[in-house]
Structure 1
Amino acid sequence: MIATPSVHSLGLLLLLSFFLGFAFEDFFAKTSSARPGGIRTFPLLSLGGGILYLFDPTHLIAFTGGLLVLGAWLAMFYGVHLRERDEKGERNAGLVVLLLNVHAYLLGAVALALPHWIAVGVTVVAVLLLTGRDRLHTLARRIDMKEITTAGQFLILTGVVLPLLPAEPVTTLTSITPRQAWLALTLVCTLSYASYLAQRYWPRAARGLWMPALGGLYSSTATTVVLARQANADPASRRQALAGITLATGIMYLRILAIIAVFNLALARQLVVPMAGLAALALSIAALQYWLIKAPAAEAHDAAGRGNPLELGTAAAFAAMFVLISLASTWVKTEFGTEGIYWLAAIVGFADIDPFVLNLAQGGTAGIGDHAVAIAVLIAASSNNILKATYALSFGGRATLQSALMLVILAGIGVVLAVLLARGTL
């Protein structure tokens, strides 16, 4: 029994096959040698594949036979094609033409049997890969092998390790599960990795305030150190360094708020006013610093001279710190109550606050409500600003004194907001 395709599926099949044919014809228009495929061949292949699929949609005998015939024909073409030489005298061994013909044939069955978005998606991707050849080859030459290795590490973190971890607590000392700990690590690594790639491969990120803004997504503390050193070594870059330090801190508030929202929306609602207010104040100060300081602005140096944020050793250290802070938070809460968590927040702010914030956001310390957690987050962010102010003075000296003062002011305002929140007046 032959299945009956819908008019919409048949129309989509023709539309996509013509779209693929047009792209093929345009791309190979300047090629002197003939290539199988094009504005007539691809629609015919798609229609043929669709009809053969409809003859036997269960066992696909006719469809498979058609694919074998197409494969034999393409194999004969490829044997001749291999003897050709390109303009550099090298053997022309590309498979793109063959794969596009196979794609056109398979498109008939895909458009008739699967959801339409799949047919549209795979065809658009095929056209983009075809027409983007030069850009993709240029990008491939720019990327170091180390970056490919790092991308593999990122895929291991997110696609291999995360699904294998248990979703239940493994100890009574904390309610945080291994999967929650690794999910927190994955989220921070994703933000860090995206910021790192933008700074490394996006030319505009090296100009203006893009670098400190992206650095705030990665680490406002590291960005403060980089910019303070830059201001001390090059007085012409003082304006950008001062504004960038404050800007990175403003982005930090938004980053923390976004991370908390992923795991605990109720907590994010309590923090949205104070954190967004502090971010707005920091961004306003950064804008005034950039506009009012008269020193000539220089091009930003590579933020980076630092390494890639996705080294597996760094990831393991983050996970270990996350677990240790979870255990410490539970112990401090048991021994000293909620006030102990506030003191711990003040201490942790002089290190890396992300593990502490993520632990609290995921309920890593039982018996502490969102209200107390919000206060602890504000305290941790404020103490972290004191640390950055210290770094700004240590590495930048008098050149970054203004930014150090701004960070201290933001820290003081954060503590005031925490007190107001504790008293219930905010």
Structure 2
Amino acid sequence: MHPHYSPVMDTLDLFQRLSVSLAIGLVIGLERGWHARLEAEGERAAGFRTHALAGVLGGVWGAIARGGGDIGLVALAVAFATFTGVIAFYRYRETGHDGTFGATTVVAAMLAFALGAFAVVGDVQVAAAGGVVVAALLALKGVLHAWVQRLSWAELRSGLMLLAMTFVMLPLLPNRPIDPWGALNPFSLWLMTIMIAVLSFAGYAAIKIVGARRGVLLTGVGGGLVSSTAVTLNMARMAREHPEERNRLVASALVASATMMARILVVVGVINAALLSQLAGPVGAAGLALALVALFLLKSGGPEGDDDGQIVLRNPFELATVLQFGALLTVISVLAKAVTVYAGDIGVYALAAISGIADVDAITLSMAQLGGAGSLGLEVAARAIAIVVAVNTVSKTVMGWIAGGSEVGWRLAIASGLAILAGALGLLLSPAASAGV
């Protein structure tokens, strides 16, 4: 039962809750009314006013049910069923008249009534949020339908499998260390794997929806959420083939790397907020340096062209991709714990340097978990993540130089040098360095 629930409410509370019920109906009705704005009066089963009234009706019945105990709840259920039957009947007549099919209007009216009632009998804030979400889903019909049409079977299959493994498998995993060193917590490892996959998929979806040629910034940001290394290689190859667009394409690669650094800060902040204060300076400064160089290249690169290059990225929701990252995270977690115990800080830094050649996420997650716990201090974890970011930045520069040639390479090298310098200054000015650690 909600902590503020009371069968009897004062007049002001009731007015406030009924106002929310009306607002829910209005916001849902506004979308429905706009959708059917070209239809003549009397040709709609439920429009703006009907949905607004449905929200108020639900609120009124909620108030009646709230003071009536079990009988009141039964009465609310009967009222909801009756209302649904009436709306369904008129919608049936409307579809028969128009020769169309569709149940969205009926479901929207049912939700307006139900959320209006919930605003009175339950949590008013949750009810209000539900109304906004319903209206947004209704308004995004075109976007969602277009997205479904562009969704491939492989993406659908991978997404469904990952959802099943998240909401079915995750609760079954033990939420405790299962190894003698306390490094392997199946629940935490899988949860972090899913978090990285979701962040990566956000960028993957952005590129699929917007397109790889719709703008350097969008391409760089979206690609940086998936794989800044892949974006760097693609842009370097495209710059070799289209030298007139070299600055613009290199800028996109730099934006991807800056986005990767922002993603690192987000991940660290979610897992270990205390570590974020140590890391925000160096990683944030490095990302800012890359963004500024990218802006300079964009300004000097002329108008955006219409090259034929495409960014090809693997679906991060592929089961094989998720499992590979999970395995890598497991190995890195064990190694990080081992070097912390047996090799000390130097071992941690060496592991970070080796890991940074190909990947930053695994060591970042491991350091975020271990930082401030036991033998690994926050400053050591922050330095390890700074090292992995620096090594990865150099690694991408070398790859880009090989793929795009010297003209691309020296641009990447200058930007990377400035980013590493800015990161080093940020590390020196971090709270740990300022405290003399």
Q: Following superposition of structure 1 onto structure 2, how do residues 71-90 of structure 1 map, counting pairs within 5 Å?
A: 71-74=84-87, 76-77=89-90, 80=93, 83-86=96-99
1:167 match: secondary structure:
coil
Choose the corresponding residue for 2:247, options 234, 239, 246: 239
Which shifted more, 12-21 or 253-262? Answer: 12-21
Q: Which residue is 2:3 aligned to?
A: none
Q: Which residue is 1:62 aligned to?
A: 75
- Check if 1:250 corresponds to 2:262: no
- Check if 1:216 corresponds to 2:229: no
Q: Which residue is 1:363 aligned to?
A: 370
- Give the superposition deviation at 1:308: 1.2
Opposite residue 210 of structure 1, the aligned amino acid is: L
Q: Which residue is 2:343 aligned to?
A: 336
Tell me how far apart the structure 2 counterparts of residues 75 and 339 of structure 1 sit (CA, whole Å).
Answer: 70
Q: Do the aligned partners of residues 414 and 171 (structure 1) sit closer, same or farther apart at CA in structure 2, a change above 3 Å counting?
A: farther
Q: Following superposition of structure 1 onto structure 2, how do residues 144-183 of structure 1 map, counting pairs within 5 Å?
A: 144-156=152-164, 158-183=166-191
Opposite residue 394 of structure 1, the aligned amino acid is: I
- 1:195·1:215 contact (CA, 8 Å) conserved in 2? yes
1:126-178 deviations in Å (ceiling 9; x for gaps): 44444554454444434444443344345345434433322211102343422
- Give the superposition deviation at 1:305: 1.6
1:368 match: secondary structure:
coil
Opposite residue 410 of structure 2, the aligned amino acid is: Q
Q: Which residue is 1:324 aligned to?
A: 331
- Give the superposition deviation at 1:409: 2.1
Choose the corresponding residue for 1:397, options 371, 396, 405: 405
- Give the superposition deviation at 1:23: 5.2
Q: Do the aligned partners of residues 391 and 35 (structure 1) sit closer, same or farther apart at CA in structure 2, a change above 3 Å counting?
A: same
Q: Do the aligned partners of residues 235 and 95 (structure 1) sit closer, same or farther apart at CA in structure 2, a change above 3 Å counting?
A: same
- 1:23·1:131 contact (CA, 8 Å) conserved in 2? yes
- 1:257·1:275 contact (CA, 8 Å) conserved in 2? yes
Choose the corresponding residue for 2:386, options 378, 381, 384: 378
Q: Do the aligned partners of residues 259 and 67 (structure 1) sit closer, same or farther apart at CA in structure 2, a change above 3 Å counting?
A: closer
Tell me how far apart the structure 2 counterparts of residues 353 and 267 of structure 1 sit (CA, whole Å).
Answer: 16
- Give the superposition deviation at 1:57: 4.0
Q: Which residue is 1:28 aligned to?
A: 36
* Greater Rg over alpha carbons, structure: 1
Q: Which residue is 1:314 aligned to?
A: 321
Aligned residues, how many? Answer: 419
- Give the superposition deviation at 1:315: 0.9
Q: Do the aligned partners of residues 403 and 159 (structure 1) sit closer, same or farther apart at CA in structure 2, a change above 3 Å counting?
A: farther
2:400 match: secondary structure:
helix
- Check if 1:267 corresponds to 2:290: no
Opposite residue 75 of structure 2, the aligned amino acid is: A
- Give the superposition deviation at 1:231: 0.9
- Give the superposition deviation at 1:363: 0.6
- 1:388·1:407 contact (CA, 8 Å) conserved in 2? no
Tell me how far apart the structure 2 counterparts of residues 361 and 124 of structure 1 sit (CA, whole Å).
Answer: 35
Which shifted more, 318-327 or 261-270? Answer: 261-270
1:237 match: secondary structure:
helix
Tell me how far apart the structure 1 counterparts of residues 262 and 58 of structure 2 sit (CA, whole Å).
Answer: 52
- 2:245·2:305 contact (CA, 8 Å) conserved in 1? yes
Q: Do the aligned partners of residues 95 and 387 (structure 1) sit closer, same or farther apart at CA in structure 2, a change above 3 Å counting?
A: same
- 1:260·1:267 contact (CA, 8 Å) conserved in 2? yes
Q: Do the aligned partners of residues 375 and 58 (structure 1) sit closer, same or farther apart at CA in structure 2, a change above 3 Å counting?
A: same
Structure 1 vs Structure 2 CA RMSD: 3.6
Choose the corresponding residue for 1:112, options 107, 114, 120: 120
Choose the corresponding residue for 2:290, options 267, 282, 293: 282
Q: Following superposition of structure 1 onto structure 2, how do residues 181-192 of structure 1 map, counting pairs within 5 Å?
A: 181-192=189-200
Q: Which residue is 2:356 aligned to?
A: 349
- 2:33·2:47 contact (CA, 8 Å) conserved in 1? yes
Tell me how far apart the structure 2 counterparts of residues 164 and 389 of structure 1 sit (CA, whole Å).
Answer: 43
Instruction: Specify every segment of 5 or more residues in structure 2 that has no aligned partner in the other structure, as ranges.
Output: 1-6
Q: Do the aligned partners of residues 154 and 51 (structure 1) sit closer, same or farther apart at CA in structure 2, a change above 3 Å counting?
A: same
Opposite residue 370 of structure 1, the aligned amino acid is: L
- Give the superposition deviation at 1:249: 2.6
Q: Do the aligned partners of residues 133 and 220 (structure 1) sit closer, same or farther apart at CA in structure 2, a change above 3 Å counting?
A: closer
- Give the superposition deviation at 1:181: 1.5
- 1:176·1:359 contact (CA, 8 Å) conserved in 2? no
| Identical pairs, percent | 27
Instruction: Specify every segment of 5 or more residues in structure 1 that has no aligned partner in the other structure, as ranges.
Output: 87-91
Tell me how far apart the structure 1 counterparts of residues 396 and 30 of structure 2 sit (CA, whole Å).
Answer: 57
- Give the superposition deviation at 1:202: 2.5
Which shifted more, 407-416 or 202-211? Answer: 407-416
Q: Which residue is 1:89 aligned to?
A: none
Tell me how far apart the structure 2 counterparts of residues 412 and 52 of structure 1 sit (CA, whole Å).
Answer: 63
Q: Which residue is 1:93 aligned to?
A: 101
- 1:35·1:97 contact (CA, 8 Å) conserved in 2? no
TM-score (ref. length: structure 1): 0.83
- Give the superposition deviation at 1:226: 0.9
- 2:235·2:252 contact (CA, 8 Å) conserved in 1? yes
Q: Following superposition of structure 1 onto structure 2, how do residues 401-420 of structure 1 map, counting pairs within 5 Å?
A: 401-406=409-414, 409-410=417-418, 413=421
Tell me how far apart the structure 1 counterparts of residues 421 and 355 of structure 2 sit (CA, whole Å).
Answer: 19
Which shifted more, 132-141 or 257-266? Answer: 132-141
Opposite residue 217 of structure 2, the aligned amino acid is: L
Q: Do the aligned partners of residues 41 and 249 (structure 1) sit closer, same or farther apart at CA in structure 2, a change above 3 Å counting?
A: closer
- Give the superposition deviation at 1:21: 5.1
- Give the superposition deviation at 1:355: 0.4
- Give the superposition deviation at 1:192: 0.9
